């Protein structure tokens, strides 16, 4: 039982923590994917807003004539800020930017939009659409930071062409957005510029293990926290951000507690079971064998074959006592038979001695008779010789 307890402890210590660690890693990976999906979900939200503006007759006419009324009515800094975006870019079918405007959503003031507009003009494939259901989105690596964009063709309110150009929305992936995602998902979400030397040590270490074939890295930061990391790629397929999700190690610590409690409980139960088993063995097995042994020794010491072992039960020990009693019965019968045989042999010997004595007497009588006859013959012979001589 001690060996079983030690073996159980070794097995439990080896496999249970690893199982809980796998569960913990699965849970933190789900949290990481939730945060990543929340970032990806920004694009459908931007697309929904963009669709309302791109499939609109007023926008269609603005692409064709660039009328000021449209700008004054719809493209003021406050109007753009109310859309929860940072920039709007209108371009013609050849990819030439016709109008652009960028705002600071916090102050609702216009800011420089040249970098975003120039980047789109330099990469015309982002804003040239040949199909009415064309849609391009992604993250651009601007100097101001990661910039989310969505672009689609401008159509009439009936969703028809021909396509005169495109409309593009842009939005900074700001800390405010990350905080809103953390609040929405109830997770500790952080993003860091990929490869930035001032990033935390654990992030830089995780980036060394992240690549196209290894999408996730999990790093236990301490006994109480664990983090998962994932790369976010820009529109051109290059890593631009490192996403980090940190969470408490409730599953792992609860697993360790459960494992230790289980091992302790098993050890206690083993001890209780062992003590109980020893008592039961002593009471129902060992003591009965001891009594059986004492009884046999007592019978041997007294050399009394009439003594028998009391059969207390009908189990294996009772069968053994019955077998010993049967064996003693056979021994007693054999001894009794041997005594009767010895008595018969003794009586036969006595009779044989008597016959031998009688035979000896008869022999002596016969010998004496022969001797007497010889003597008589000698006397007769002497008488005859005396008679002849006279």
3-class DSSP state for residue 147? strand
C-alpha–C-alpha distance, residues 133 and 235, integer Å: 19
CA Rg value for the chain: 58
**Residue 265 banded pLDDT, cuts 50, 70, 90:** confident
Q: What is the mean pLDDT of residues 24-52?
A: 92
Which stretch of DSSP H or E encloses residue 180?
Answer: helix 175-185
The pLDDT of residue 373: 85
d(CA 136, CA 116): 15
Rounded Cα distance, 52 and 6, in Å: 70
**pLDDT (tens digit, 9 = 90+) per residue, 148-206?**
999 999 999 998 889 999 999 999 999 999 999 999 888 999 999 999 999 999 999 99
Query: 């294996």: which residue's tokens?
Result: 316
pLDDT, mean over the chain: 87
Domains and CATH numbers, the chain: 41-173 (3.30.450.20)
Beta bridge partners of 231: 242
Q: How confident is the model at residue 123 (pLDDT cuts 50, 70, 90)?
A: very high
**How many CB atoms neighbour CB 80 within 10 A?**
21
Each residue's pLDDT tens digit, 31-40: 999 999 999 9
Distance CA 342, CA 26 (A): 92
Write down the pLDDT at residue 290: 80
pLDDT at 135 over 80: yes
Q: Pick the more confident residue, 115 or 266.
A: 115
Q: Judge residue 167's burial from the number of C-beta atoms within 10 Å of its C-beta, 0-12 exposed, 13-18 middle, 19 or more buried.
A: buried
- What are the pLDDT digits (tens) for 282-306? 887 787 778 777 877 877 777 776 7
Looking up tokens 């990350």 gives 178
pLDDT bucket at 341, cuts 50 / 70 / 90: confident
Q: How confident is the model at residue 311 (pLDDT cuts 50, 70, 90)?
A: low
- Hey, how many other C-beta atoms are within 10 angstroms of the C-beta on 180? 14
Output the six-digit token pair for 43: 């694009």
Confidence category of residue 111, pLDDT binned at 50, 70, 90: very high
Looking at residue 6, what is its pLDDT? 79
How big is the CA angle at 178 (ends 176 and 181), to the nearest 5 degrees?
Answer: 110
pLDDT in tens, 217-248: 999 888 889 999 999 999 999 999 999 999 98
In the numeric block, the tokens 């109830």 are attached to 186
pLDDT of residue 390: 67
* Residue 251, pLDDT score: 78
């Amino acid at each position: 039982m001690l060996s079983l307890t030690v073996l159980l402890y070794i097995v439990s210590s080896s496999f249970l923590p690893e199982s809980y660690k796998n569960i913990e890693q699965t849970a933190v990976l789900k949290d990481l994917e939730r945060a990543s999906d929340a970032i990806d979900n920004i694009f459908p939200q931007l697309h929904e807003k963009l669709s309302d503006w791109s499939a609109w007759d007023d926008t269609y006419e603005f692409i064709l004539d660039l009328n000021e009324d449209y700008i004054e009515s719809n493209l003021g800094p406050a109007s753009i800020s109310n859309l929860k975006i940072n920039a709007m870019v209108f371009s013609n079918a050849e990819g030439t930017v016709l109008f652009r405007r960028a705002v600071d959503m916090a102050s609702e003031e216009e800011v420089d939009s040249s970098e975003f507009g120039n980047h789109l003009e330099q990469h015309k494939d982002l804003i040239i659409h040949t199909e009415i259901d064309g849609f391009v989105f992604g993250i651009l690596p601007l100097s101001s930071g990661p910039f989310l964009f969505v672009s689609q063709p401008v159509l009439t309110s009936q969703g028809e062409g021909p396509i005169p150009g495109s409309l593009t929305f842009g939005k900074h992936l700001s800390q405010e957005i990350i905080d809103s995602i953390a609040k929405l998902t109830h997770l500790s979400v952080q993003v860091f510029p990929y490869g930035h030397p001032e990033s935390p040590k654990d992030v830089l270490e995780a980036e060394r293990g992240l690549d196209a074939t290894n999408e996730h890295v999990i790093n236990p930061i301490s006994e109480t926290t664990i983090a998962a990391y994932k790369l976010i790629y820009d529109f051109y397929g290059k890593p631009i951000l490192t996403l980090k999700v940190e969470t408490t190690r409730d599953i792992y610590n609860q697993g360790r507690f459960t494992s230790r409690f289980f091992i302790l409980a098993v050890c206690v139960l083993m001890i209780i079971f062992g003590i109980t088993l020893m008592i039961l063995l002593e009471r129902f097995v060992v003591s009965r064998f001891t009594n059986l042994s004492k009884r046999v020794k007592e019978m041997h010491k007294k050399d009394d074959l009439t003594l028998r072992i009391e059969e207390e039960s009908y189990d294996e020990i009772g069968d053994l006592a019955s077998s010993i009693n049967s064996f003693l019965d056979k021994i007693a019968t054999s001894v009794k038979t041997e005594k009767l045989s010895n008595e018969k042999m003794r009586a036969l010997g006595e009779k044989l001695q008597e016959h031998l004595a009688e035979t000896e007497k008869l022999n002596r009588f016969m010998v004496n008779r022969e001797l007497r006859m010889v003597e008589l013959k000698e006397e007769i012979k002497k008488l005859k010789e005396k008679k002849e001589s006279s």
